[in-house]
Amino acid sequence: MARSRTPKFDASEVITNEIIRIIERGVLPWRKPWTAGGSSRPLRVGGEPYQGVNNFLLTMRTVMAGHSSPFWMTLPQANALDAKVRKGEKSSVVVYYGQSRKDAGDKDDRSDGDDRSEEAHIFRFQKSYRVFNACQIEGLPDSFFPDPEPVLEHPPSEPIPHMQAFFDAIDITTVFTGTEAYYLPPVDKVYMPFITRFQDPRNFYGVWAHELAHATKAPHRLNRDFGFSKFGNTSYAREEIVAELTSVFLGQTLGFTAHTLEMNAAYLHNWLRVLRSDKGAIFKHAADAQRACDYLIARSEVGRAGRSAEAA
């Protein structure tokens, strides 16, 4: 009798199903304002911030679990610090990417003496590992539990200086008018309502980040293209996910959370449609969003550096 095989662990499927279950409840936990131990991003055991999809995943899990530490580590890393994971604590799956080189084969063994050079192929692969938050571990040094930073209050409907300076320096034209927020590709402009329409100014910057993220898809910028896009189709939904995650990542740097003017069943359906049809989508689009975030940060830095030079 043949023995049944244990199904191979599929990190992409497990993580995607986790996100689907959360969204089906009608919530996007990564939109909640949060910091853990003074950090707006999850940190590796050595203090380096996570990037891309792991940043997104651990942000979501930190918010949902209410962890007060930003630090995450593997079981061996905890053991190396003479610490112990509490009994019954559940780990979180994260992923990493690597690449391997494989040669096409040996030289041709042909009588005409024509030796062809070997061709090498680079294969990218995804692997997963499990981590625990410092709050799940006993015996860690106090440095893994930094004090929280005070929550800053901002006057309603007024600009937040460091956020305003960041966005003003980006060389993508924004027109302030009306009540809708959108990016219009034919004229390469972002359209935004005035900040006075937002009670919480952080929501204004969350929406602005979302629309600027769409602008990064232009051919002369990051040239991101998911095919013909119209409201409600899959290409449209994929781009919406990228813009959402870009706003998450940028907000961690500046101090706002992702936000859109529309948060309804149709918006959640966009996520569910893509995730259910492609278990690798969240990984691909988190990488797209990280590139968009990095692009906007770089453009803002260039813009501010240029203004400083002009003023000198």
* 182, part of any domain: yes
| 133 and 168 assigned to the same domain | no
pLDDT > 90? residue 311: no
Q: Directed axis angle between helix 11-24 and helix 281-311, to 10°?
A: 80
- Count of domains in the chain? 2
| 171 and 125 assigned to the same domain | no
| 142 and 63 assigned to the same domain | yes
- The one-letter code for the residue type at 125 is F
Q: Are strands 120-133 and 189-192 parallel, antiparallel or unpaired?
A: unpaired
Name the helix (H) or strand (E) containing 173: none
Contact at 8 Å (CB) between 288 and 52? Answer: no
Three-state SS at 153: coil
| 49 and 166 assigned to the same domain | no
Write down the pTM of the prediction.
0.88
| 175 and 267 assigned to the same domain | yes
Q: Give the mean pLDDT of 130-138.
A: 98
20-79 tens-digit pLDDT: 999 999 888 999 888 999 999 999 999 999 999 999 999 999 999 999 999 999 999 999
Q: Give the mean pLDDT of 237-244.
A: 96
pLDDT > 50? residue 116: no
Residue 277 lies in domain: 160-312
* 108, part of any domain: no
Buried b (16+ CB within 10 A) or exposed e, 45-76: beeebbebbbbbbbbbbbbeeebbbbbbbbbe
pLDDT > 50? residue 108: no
Enumerate residues 6+ apart whose C-beta is below 8 A from 84: 78, 137, 138, 139
Q: Are strands 120-133 and 182-184 parallel, antiparallel or unpaired?
A: unpaired
Structure tokens at 126: 């995804």
* 125, part of any domain: yes
Of 134, 153, 172, the residue that ends a domain is 153
Residues linked to residue 73 through DSSP beta bridges, in sequence order: 132
Cβ-based neighbour number of residue 16 at 10 Å: 20
| 57 and 185 assigned to the same domain | no
pLDDT > 60? residue 114: no
Cβ-based neighbour number of residue 33 at 10 Å: 13
Residue 117's pLDDT is what? 44
Q: Give the mean pLDDT of 14-22.
A: 95
Enumerate residues 6+ apart whose C-beta is below 8 A from 127: 11, 95, 96, 97, 98
* 188, part of any domain: yes
Task: Please tell me which residue, 264 or 180, carries the higher pLDDT value.
Answer: 180
| 201 and 147 assigned to the same domain | no
| 214 and 286 assigned to the same domain | yes
| 209 and 64 assigned to the same domain | no
DSSP string, 12-43: HHHHHHHHHHHHHTT--GGGS---BTTBSS-B
Q: Give the mean pLDDT of 224-233.
A: 87
H-helix segments, 25-147? 52-65, 75-80
* 215, part of any domain: yes
| 135 and 242 assigned to the same domain | no
pLDDT > 70? residue 118: no
* 112, part of any domain: no
Q: Are strands 72-73 and 84-85 parallel, antiparallel or unpaired?
A: unpaired
3-state secondary structure 193-207: CCHHHCCCHHHHHHH
| 18 and 149 assigned to the same domain | yes
Q: How confident is the model at residue 231 (pLDDT cuts 50, 70, 90)?
A: confident
| 169 and 242 assigned to the same domain | yes
Cα separation, 126 vs 249, in Å, equals 22
183-212 tens-digit pLDDT: 999 999 999 999 999 999 999 999 999 999
* 109, part of any domain: no
Residue 104's pLDDT is what? 56
pLDDT > 60? residue 98: yes
* 278, part of any domain: yes
